[in-house]
Amino acid sequence: MARILVTGGAGYIGAHGCKALRAAGHEPIVFDNFRTGWRDAVKFGEMIEGDLLDLDALKAAFAQAKPEAVMHFAALSNVGESMADPELYWRNNVGGSLNLLTAMRDAGVGSIVFSSTAATYGEPDEDPITETARQAPINPYGASKLAVEKMLDDFEKAHGIRSIAFRYFNVAGADPERQVGEHHVPETHLVPNVLDSVAGARDALTINGTDYPTPDGTCIRDYVHVMDLVDAHVLGTEWLLAGKESLRLNLGTGSGFSVREVVDAASEVVGETVPMNYGPRRPGDPARLVCDGTRAREVLGWSPERSVMAQMIGDAWAWRQTGRYSR
Ligand code: UFG
């Protein structure tokens, strides 16, 4: 049993991370400013309200929580927003992480699992993408996450803080027990947008671009079930707590689904046609992002068994029907 400080523990992935930590016998302590997170999502342990940009609050949180390791989910993660307002992303994602590492150094906490992203690869020079592919982000969001990866390297060299940076591909689905799930305001992600369209909670889905160099002309992504994703984080935390070395690992399945294929799968799962229309490309969308996830399987023994499209959509739909948070 270990005490883990979970930044962003009230957000989509962070809340699932807390559930997984608790299920594995650990004690999550959420640190969140509730800017995009939900108070209703804090269900698996203590909560400290605070902002990563407030170094004093962060130091106080370490003194209170006495964590042995950190899971660092807290970040802004909307690519379009990062293009329009880069200052927001550099300040929050990079400045916030710098404060976090400073507080870890001062508190003598030597293990951190960090949410990085496939967006650090930009337009990838490999397909599928391995961890050694060139990292050349094409938007401030990806650049901010790559900057934190480099910061982690430097803090290890100088202060011995070991880290795992997981580079996420497309996360989808929800806790099958419906305690926590995905709820963003505004929502931009494909699966919840598809389900909101079916439920009549928004206008018809717009498919962003049909002229990509893919078999059906729509973008291809590698979708991973959020419960599988957070399982990797628990394995990663235990890896670091056992004194093992820093890692950089992709989290995805190696299977690509086009936007059209996701829409078709959702129609089948829900049993209704998805109202949709076709729009132009969304700026900054690479045509195809598919992961070579061999390394996470081999090194950590990770097995993403729930990352089946019908299961991800089914769990997201079940959560949408009954579980959603209220502010
Ligand atoms: N899409 C639509 N219509 C919608 C929403 C999305 O056609 O209403 C398309 C997008 O244009 C894209 C695909 O569906 O082609 C997936 O889009 P998402 O917004 O769900 O996910 P992204 O691939 O853009 O981004 C995700 C994370 C990012 C991360 C990136 C890394 O949200 O934080 O993966 O691959 F950087």
pLDDT tens digits, one per residue of 11-22: 999 999 999 999
Contact assessment for residue 182 and residue 230, using Cβ atoms and an 8 Å cutoff: no
**Residue 293 reports pLDDT greater than 70:** yes
Predicted pLDDT at 269:
97
Mean pLDDT of all residues in 261-270: 98
Mutate to test the pocket of ligand 1, among 92, 202, 258, 282 (most ligand atoms within 8 A of CB): 282
**Residue 148 sits in the same domain as residue 261:** no
**Residue 281 sits in the same domain as residue 301:** yes
Asked if this assembly's ipTM is beyond 0.90, the reply is yes
**Residue 44 sits in the same domain as residue 21:** yes
Q: Which atom of ligand 1 is nearest to the CA of 168?
A: 31
Predicted pLDDT at 327:
56
Predicted pLDDT at 159:
98
Centroid of ligand 1 to alpha carbon of 244 (angstroms):
34
**Residue 261 sits in the same domain as residue 242:** no
Q: Which atom of ligand 1 is nearest to the CA of 205?
A: 8
Where is the domain boundary, 209, 232, 248?
248
Predicted pLDDT at 80:
87
Centroid of ligand 1 to alpha carbon of 72 (angstroms):
22
**Residue 143 sits in the same domain as residue 199:** no
CB atoms within 10 A of CB 282: 14
**Residue 287 sits in the same domain as residue 267:** yes
Name all residues whose Cβ lies below 6 A of ligand 1.
77, 79, 117-119, 141, 169-170, 188-190, 193, 205-208, 219, 221, 259, 282, 285, 289
**Residue 139 reports pLDDT greater than 60:** yes
Mutate to test the pocket of ligand 1, among 208, 253, 289 (most ligand atoms within 8 A of CB): 208
C-alpha dist (Å) from residue 21 to 2, 12, 51: 9, 15, 22
Tell me, yes or no, whether 23 lies in a domain: yes
Mean pLDDT of all residues in 109-127: 96
Q: Which atom of ligand 1 is nearest to the CA of 207?
A: 7
Residue nearest atom 33 of ligand 1, based on CA coordinates: 77
**Residue 108 sits in the same domain as residue 207:** no
**Residue 77 reports pLDDT greater than 90:** yes
**Residue 227 sits in the same domain as residue 258:** no
Report the mean per-residue pLDDT for the chain. 96
What is the model's pTM?
0.97
**Residue 137 sits in the same domain as residue 197:** no
Predicted pLDDT at 326:
72
Predicted pLDDT at 284:
80
Predicted pLDDT at 178:
94
Among candidate residues 205, 72, 48, 41, the one with its CA nearest the CA of residue 149: 72
Centroid of ligand 1 to alpha carbon of 279 (angstroms):
14
The CATH number of the domain where 263 resides is what? 3.90.25.10
Mutate to test the pocket of ligand 1, among 12, 83, 259 (most ligand atoms within 8 A of CB): 259
Domain with 285 in it: 188-219+252-319
**Residue 31 reports pLDDT greater than 60:** yes
Predicted pLDDT at 209:
97
Q: Which atom of ligand 1 is nearest to the CA of 142?
A: 36
**Residue 323 reports pLDDT greater than 80:** no
Instruction: Report percent pLDDT > 90 for the chain.
Output: 94
- Count of domains observed in the chain: 2
Mean pLDDT of all residues in 256-261: 98
Confidence of residue 151 (pLDDT cuts 50, 70, 90): very high
**Residue 160 sits in the same domain as residue 211:** no
Q: Which residues are catalytic?
A: 141
Confidence of residue 53 (pLDDT cuts 50, 70, 90): very high
Tell me, yes or no, whether 288 lies in a domain: yes
Where is the domain boundary, 232, 248, 264?
248
Mean pLDDT of all residues in 57-80: 97
Contact assessment for residue 103 and residue 55, using Cβ atoms and an 8 Å cutoff: yes
